A and B are shown apart, each in its own frame.
Chain A
Amino acid sequence: MTDNKQNVTSVDNIAVRFTGDSGDGMQLAGNIFSTISATVGNDISTFPDYPADIRAPQGSLTGVSGFQVHIGAEKVLTPGDKCDVLIAMNPAALKTQYKFCTSRSIIIVDTDSFKENDLKKAEFQTNDPFEEMGIKNEVIAAPITSMCVEALKDSGLDFKSSVRCKNMFALGLVCWLFDRNVPYAEEMLRQKFAKKPEIAEANIKVLNAGYDYGHNTHASATTYRIESANATKQKGVFMDINGNKATAYGLIAAAEKAGLKLYLGSYPITPATDVLHELSKHKSLGVTTVQCEDEIAGCASAVGAAFGGALACTSTSGPGICLKSEAMNLAVIMELPIVVLDVQRGGPATGLPTKSEQTDLLQVLFGRNGESPMPVLAAASPTDCFDMAYMACKIALEHMTPVVLMTDAYVANGSAAWKLPKLEEYPAIKPPYVTPDMKGSWAPYQRNADGVRYWAVPGTEGFTHILGGLEKDSKTGAISTNPENHNLMTHLRQEKIDKIQVPDVEVLGDKDDAELLIVGFGGTYGHLHAAMNEMKASGKKVALAHFKYINPLPKNTAEVLKKYKKVVVAEQNLGQFAGWLRMKVDNFVPFQFNEVKGQPFAVADLVKAFTEIYNK
């Protein structure tokens, strides 16, 4: 490290993992790093890894919080299986996060927090954690805390506040390592701490100190440049957005487009709560959020709000769906539009609250009494949450039905650069309202050509009517137990859902001559796509069909699934989507890849498993 000559290596993508105590500000450092990279035209994908405990003791193994940022010249599909740089602000972070390193990863540690006591808290037996863990990587060991405090000695900031800035020292060091634009990071800090300029300036000072430290000491023999691929670069105005926020934005956009008030009935539940947080901020857009007494009331009040004429939504995770299914079913029989958001987490029961799975699919498709058809959509990525939330609202309102939008903890918390949408480019949303000429002849279950009943909002004169959970006569809307009528209504409700038009599923990759078709749905898109790319790069003929519309399935589903010699359905459950496809497509017998670890798929594992199937 004393070599004065600095090597600069060009790379096309890097993954950096910021880790430390939950109070160490690793999320902020990671966030700034990803945003400044995005501003120069790199693609980004990020994923936070929250600690299991809310306030674990400082320095303990359960209190480690991480934030992985993947930056690339071309499209970045996942946050990365492993990282190229690990920043470990304390021994606990090193111990728990080293598993994300390869033999080539650079590790940056704060030597000030690797003292005997710190090592003890992280349950190390010796004074050399690297030796103890057998780590042979390049390590940049810098006294980050003390240099941070030193940089701020004349700032007037007290010791505690000074130490708080140490995440910026680490960020500065990483900025130097990857030749990132520091002035833009300064700008972001000034905005973030607009109300406390002295804090902003302190952070900026430490950020520069970190950068200079790298520069002056040649902390690493090599620094890196990430090319930005100008040819493929998408132009426009961008922001960084995670899936939960994108979902909230999609609901807001749809309400505005439909000209309706947005109502959210919700109950706090990990990992869906941020949607409630986000929507509750936007009162100036007329958004009403009610934090209900329970999950049941969250959904039931949404049904009431839909009856009242709002775009009504309820947000939850799998355990909440269990409780909401009763009111979801009521919306099925009353044919009222509501959007039910299921941010999936590990189950069953309380399961793994902060972890990600795709295990609610059959629950949302079938988990209700009676024949209870319901459209189901699944978002493929953090930014796709916006489009899918918008489409969920459109389908609900235009087809007078509850719709389930599935996301998961991974897409909900993961973020990516998002090109700001233009609302005028999105399709119109036109609910089938009753019209004045229907007065006198209208009945609640009269249907249009799509089999959809008309919507008469209370307050409209001449359309008073009653809806309810009991079966109704298809013509008069009165309670009916007539066997023929029940049979007819059951079919009508099913046909209404079957008639919904959804886009065809797209086949990516070697769509004409693939030996293996990879099939998935929802939040695994990035990982499956990356796996396909890797296999193609090694000369294999592979394609990917990734589903976002689960019920009804796209019209070309059977055609696509039958076209290829081998098909593997890969999902984070024990085969729920494969089962659903087999129910819908005759003689479809796919290979399956199922993994339920609560973690996103690792691309390397996928490639290995798919290659085995490929070679069979």
Chain B
Amino acid sequence: MENITYEAKDFKKGQPRWCPGCGDHFFLASLQKAMAEIGVAPHNTAVISGIGCSSRLPHYMATYGMNTIHGRAAAIATGCKIANPKLTVWQISGDGDGLAIGGNHFIHANRRNIDLNMILLNNRIYGLTKGQYSPTSPRGFVSKSSPYGTVEDPFRPAELCFGARGHFFARAVATDAAGTVEILKAAQAHKGASVCEILQNCVIFNDGTHASVYKPEERKKNAIYLKHGQPMIFGENNEFGLVQDGFNLKVVKIGENGITEKDILVHDAHCEDNTLQLKLALMEGPDFPIALGVIRDVEAPTYNDAVEAQIAEVSEKKKYHNFQELLMTNDTWEVK
């Protein structure tokens, strides 16, 4: 590619208008930093969003972009990538945009494995419409549209992604720049649909929803950074680890009951079978740490590559390659 190096500022445009302290600000900075490190030129990058607070993001990018309609970002990004496969396409959605109104497009983009970097900014609330519960709000959640608490269970994004046969799932906390940049770069490196769930705080309507992991000191206690090939160790002093217990995971303390580092599970993000990855992705406090980092990253043929390969293959076999030749493949007759 081009021998030009980029800085985060090459991807910056305008003044974000999110509420002060909104998680989206942090994420935007990390995305721009990741893009600079990835090194794809702004004019070869398209950032496509739906509608919602987080979907304003493309307005602050010096790339090609679209801030489209509610829920359709994945479908629109799909068409864009297929039409113009050289582009690097990022899709930005919130939990309402991506999983409620856009749920169908979300699962099918994963199933098709189209090469999109799909960002899901999850604040478990509808912010732009001023505070209704979303499909990721926990049961019993009190909001303007559920004054007595919701009576429905939420989606867990990883479960949807895996259920749709997704091949890449990663998670980061919006305020954790290093962790975010790392998964964004991994998402770009992964060919195919890459889902990055960003735990994002909405200071206005759902403040503290990710409190257990939002600050570094809390993350130390309540989160585990998963790295492919590394043992699953966490805790303020790296004193805890995860082991398998029957079909379940179990938290153990290293040094207690004869447990040594060797007994701790080693993360395999490349494992085709997603059973263990799903268990990791679904871990919740207070009994378990919240998994961050790249949880699943498995190679698979991408839709866009397969489309191009099929065109090349069929072109080779067929004898007609333009409209006039196409006409002559039909039964014709001449009137003289």
Contacts and interface: CB of A to CB of B under 8 A. Distances in A.
- Decide whether A and B are members of one complex: yes
Contact of B72 (A253, A327, A463): A327
Given A237-B333, A461-B43, A467-B66, A304 B324 contact: no
Contact of A284 (B65, B77, B108, B315): B315
A310 B83 contact: yes
Given A239-B330, A240-B331, A420-B332, A290 B78 contact: yes
Of the listed residues A233, A292, A463, the one surrounded by the most CB atoms of chain B closer than 10 A to its CB is A292
B332 A237 contact: yes
A308 B116 CA distance: 14
B6 interface: no
Given A290-B79, A297-B78, A297-B104, 4 more contacts: A304-B80, A326-B72, A327-B69, A458-B44
Contacts of B87: 308, 458-459
Interface stretch (A34-42, A115-123, A490-498, A545-553): A34-42
B63 A464 contact: yes
Contact of A297 (B63, B69, B75, B336): B75
A307 interface: yes
Interface in A254-312: 256, 261, 263, 265, 282-286, 288, 290, 292-294, 296-297, 300-310, 312
B78 A284 contact: no
B68 to A, nearest CB: 6
Contacts of A306: 79, 83
A421 B307 CA distance: 30
Given A235-B336, A307-B66, A458-B46, A252 B331 contact: no
A373 to B, nearest CB: 18
A465 interface: yes
B1 interface: no
B64 A464 contact: yes
Interface of B: 14, 41-44, 46, 48, 51, 58-59, 61-69, 72, 75-84, 86-87, 104-105, 107-108, 307, 310-311, 313-315, 317-318, 320-324, 326-327, 330-336
Contacts of B324: 422-423
Interface residues of A, number: 71
Contact of B334 (A237, A253, A300, A457): A237
Nearest to B322: A256
Contacts of A478: 14, 59
Nearest to B87: A458
For the complex of A and B, 7 pairs with smallest distance between CB atoms: A304-B79, A301-B79, A308-B83, A308-B84, A468-B67, A284-B318, A283-B314
B75 A238 contact: no
B335 A463 contact: no
A568 B57 CA distance: 55
A498 to B, nearest CB: 26
A420 B61 CA distance: 49
Given A283-B311, A468-B67, A234 B335 contact: yes
B72 A300 contact: yes
Contacts of A310: 83-84
14 contacts: A236-B334, A236-B335, A237-B332, A239-B331, A293-B75, A296-B104, A297-B75, A304-B83, A305-B79, A307-B64, A458-B44, A458-B46, A459-B86, A469-B67
A470 interface: yes
A234 B333 CA distance: 12
A303 B65 CA distance: 13
Contacts of A458: 43-44, 46, 64, 80, 84, 87
A466 interface: yes
A330 B68 contact: yes
A237 B333 CA distance: 6
A460 interface: yes
Contacts of A292: 75, 108
Given A297-B104, A459-B84, A233 B75 contact: no
A35 B64 contact: no
A10 interface: no
Contacts of B333: 35, 38-39, 237-239
A480 interface: no
Contact of A312 (B44, B65, B83): B83
A429 B258 CA distance: 77
A361 to B, nearest CB: 25
A165 to B, nearest CB: 20
Contacts of A8: none
Contacts of A466: 58-59, 61, 64-67
A282 B64 CA distance: 31
B66 A235 contact: no
A307 B307 CA distance: 19
A139 B80 CA distance: 61
A507 interface: no
B230 to A, nearest CB: 37
Given A239-B331, A423-B323, A308 B79 contact: yes
A455 interface: no
A467 B317 CA distance: 40
A183 interface: no
A265 B79 contact: yes
A307 to B, nearest CB: 5
